[in-house]
Amino acid sequence: MKERAMWTLVALLALLSAGEAYYIFGARRKGPPPAGTRAWAESRPVPSYQEPWRELEDWRKTLDNRLSGGGVLNNGDFDSFFNDSFFDRRFTAFDQLERIHREMMDAFEGQKKREFGDSWDKWFSDRLDMGGFDTRVSRAGGKILMTISIPGLDAKNAEINVNRDRVRLSFSARSVGGEKNARGSVRSESEESFEKILPVPSGADGNTARVSVKGDAVTITFAEKKKAKA
């Protein structure tokens, strides 16, 4: 097993150093992305980069030890690696997620592989899937607007943080339902907390972001990146 893991990491280094293009929304899903992620499906160039392999190998060992001891992986195990330091690096972090997932899957076998895959899918859905929230990008007058519709948003407690390459949203949303019974209608309310991570739109300068929250809508306005002079 140790020998296999070593050769897997060797293959991983060789594959990533080639810098081949891989788009997470084209690869993670079969068919077109859901409407909520349509705004993200813009081509993003993949620059060459050097992944911090020691950190990746340390993370793999941590997960392997957890699984070997009968532990269960949770979102925090993934958040600890895919943190702000990961998204602040010079390479285009979002374009590397699926590649890391694929190679990490190759490093595990049997039950560990199944448990890692299931835990990854849950984390990916909880953090990156915006299928439940309409997300749109528009461009006009040198500005790029990202608008996210979040029904039932608790605007007072919403936290939106933007850096060069990623948008992080922490918020709660309330939903109201109802049903009828023999005594009449029964109204019910529930509140759910979310933490989402989105890429800054292609061509936008993340350092210029201005955030506005009105009602159920979050609007982030970016200036377009200045084109390099020839």
Q: What is the DSSP track for the chain?
A: -HHHHHHHHHHHHHHHHTT----HHHHSSSSSPPGGGGGG-S----------HHHHHHHHHHHHHHHHTT----HHHHHTTSSHHHHTSSS-GGGGHHHHHHHHHHH--HHHHHHHHHHHHHHHHHHT--TTSEEEEEEETTEEEEEEE-TTB-GGG-EEEE-SSEEEEEEEEEEEEEEEETTEEEEEEEEEEEEEEEEPPTTEEEEEEEEEEETTEEEEEEEEPPPPP-
pLDDT of amino acid 68 = 95
Q: What is the pTM of this model?
A: 0.69
- The answer on pLDDT for 8 being more than 60 is no
- The answer on pLDDT for 29 being more than 60 is no
- The answer on pLDDT for 26 being more than 80 is no
DSSP 174-209: EEEEEEEETTEEEEEEEEEEEEEEEEPPTTEEEEEE
Domain ranges (residues) in the chain: 2-127, 134-224
Average pLDDT on 7-33 reads 36
- The answer on pLDDT for 111 being more than 80 is yes
pLDDT of amino acid 184 = 65
Tell me the average pLDDT of the chain: 78
pLDDT of amino acid 52 = 61
pLDDT of amino acid 11 = 40
Give the tens place of pLDDT for each residue, 38-81: 333 333 444 334 456 788 899 999 999 999 999 999 999 999 99
Tell me which architecture the domain covering 134-224 has in CATH: Sandwich (2.60)
**Confidence band for 148, pLDDT divided at 50, 70 and 90:** very high
- Both tokens assigned to 60: 């793999």
> Which percentage of the chain shows pLDDT scores above 90?
53
Give the tens place of pLDDT for each residue, 78-92: 999 998 888 876 567
Give the tens place of pLDDT for each residue, 154-212: 998 999 999 888 999 999 998 876 667 666 666 677 899 999 999 999 999 999 999 99
